[in-house]
Amino acid sequence: MTAKRMGFIGLGHMGGAMAHRLLKQGLPLTVWARNKDRLPAFVEAGASVADSPAALARDCDIIFTCVFNTAALEDLLFGEGRMIDGLSDGKMLVDFSTADPETSRRIAHLLQADHGTGMIDAPVSGGPPSAETGTLVIMAGGSDQDFEKVRGVIEDNLAGRLTLMGPSGAGQATKLINQTFVGNLLAVLAEAAKLATNAGIEAERIPAALQGGRADSRLLQEWFNVMLEGQFPPGGAISTIEKDLDAVLSLAQSTRTPMPMTATAAQLHRMMTARGHADEDVTAIYKLYGDGPLPW
């Protein structure tokens, strides 16, 4: 059987780690980036470079994308360099971006109806460290047939867990549920960390003390003491969580789902952006609580 030719577009913090993982696994990969400064590292790792999104799609059987949001995905498909012009019968588009579920459904229908191209929406959770080790949690939406076409390469190289959640858009909806937990927990962890310090206890002992109890979580174990240390090493950005919580609230509005806690978490993250912290790590939300009274 002829090996599938693969391409990757979206070489930022998350997508770049995924593309490097595929190259590390020895898979031939073609890449394209709007920011050409990102390309040399991938070329050095063995990737080929396409002249445009359309050229990449034309030369590849499976096209992976990992871009910032729905607008960026639409621009990639229909804007300058129109990736859609390179899509044809039998190709597969796997979108690892976090995007709007309804738009993902619409794009999937258009690609299949007009170009014979299948699409899986497959947003990811776990961050670059999980991408580097091939242990991402990936939530997929699409047909059973299309899912099986890409399941092997994703499970063997990128995912610790890959779950087909339903038809097109289901992966995106599941990712927004994931981000509901993450965005709210970040805000709660920051509050709890500040309360622990104000209460005069040895706050850094909290994760170990609560490990295995009802309040335990991976986020508590990984992020609580990072907040207390105040170093906030670069990882996922405040702007990304803010964007995702806005998408959650948009879905909530369209489904008439009340989400008062998530609305508050979204505003707390927006306050961080308003104060110039949009590009800082998500744990930096602890800065809202400062060393004195709350800033509102």
Residue 273 maps to which CATH number? 1.10.1040.10
Q: Which of 116, 144, 166 is the last residue of a domain?
A: 166
Which H helix or E strand runs over 161?
A: strand 159-166
CB 118 within 8 A of CB 93: yes
Lowest mean pLDDT segment, chosen from 53-62, 161-170, 232-241? 232-241
257 contacts: CB under 8 Å, gap ≥ 6: 251
Tokens at residue 137, please?
């949690």
Average pLDDT over residues 124-151: 96
What's the confidence (pLDDT) of residue 293?
A: 42
Range of the domain at 147: 6-166
What's the confidence (pLDDT) of residue 236?
A: 84
Instruction: Choose the catalytic residue: 175, 194, 243, 287.
Output: 175
- What's the per-residue H, E or C state across 208-229? HHHCCCCCCCHHHHHHHHHHHH
- 148 pLDDT above the threshold of 60: yes
CB 125 within 8 A of CB 18: no
The pLDDT > 70 percentage for the chain reads: 97
Q: Which of 166, 188, 211 is the last residue of a domain?
A: 166
Average pLDDT over residues 88-102: 96
Q: Which of 111, 133, 166 is the last residue of a domain?
A: 166
Lowest mean pLDDT segment, chosen from 38-52, 92-106, 185-199, 222-236? 222-236
Kindly report the average pLDDT of the chain as a whole number: 94
The confidence band for 235, taking pLDDT boundaries of 50, 70 and 90, is confident
The confidence band for 241, taking pLDDT boundaries of 50, 70 and 90, is very high
Residues 192 and 264 in one domain: yes
What's the confidence (pLDDT) of residue 4?
A: 86
What's the confidence (pLDDT) of residue 291?
A: 59
- 127 pLDDT above the threshold of 50: yes
Lowest mean pLDDT segment, chosen from 49-63, 92-106, 229-243? 229-243
Q: How far does the chain reach from its first CA to its final CA, in angstroms?
A: 63
Residues 269 and 245 in one domain: yes
Average pLDDT over residues 120-127: 95
What's the confidence (pLDDT) of residue 2?
A: 56
Residues 161 and 251 in one domain: no
Domain count within the chain: 2
CB 7 within 8 A of CB 56: yes
Residues 28 and 154 in one domain: yes
As a whole number of angstroms, the distance between CA 12 and CA 125 comes to 15
Active site residue 149: no
What's the confidence (pLDDT) of residue 45?
A: 96
Residues 134 and 199 in one domain: no
Cβ neighbour number for residue 4 with a 10 Å cutoff? 16
Cα–chain center distance at 155: 17
As a whole number of angstroms, the distance between CA 65 and CA 246 comes to 21
Average pLDDT over residues 4-17: 94
- 113 pLDDT above the threshold of 50: yes
The pLDDT > 90 percentage for the chain reads: 91
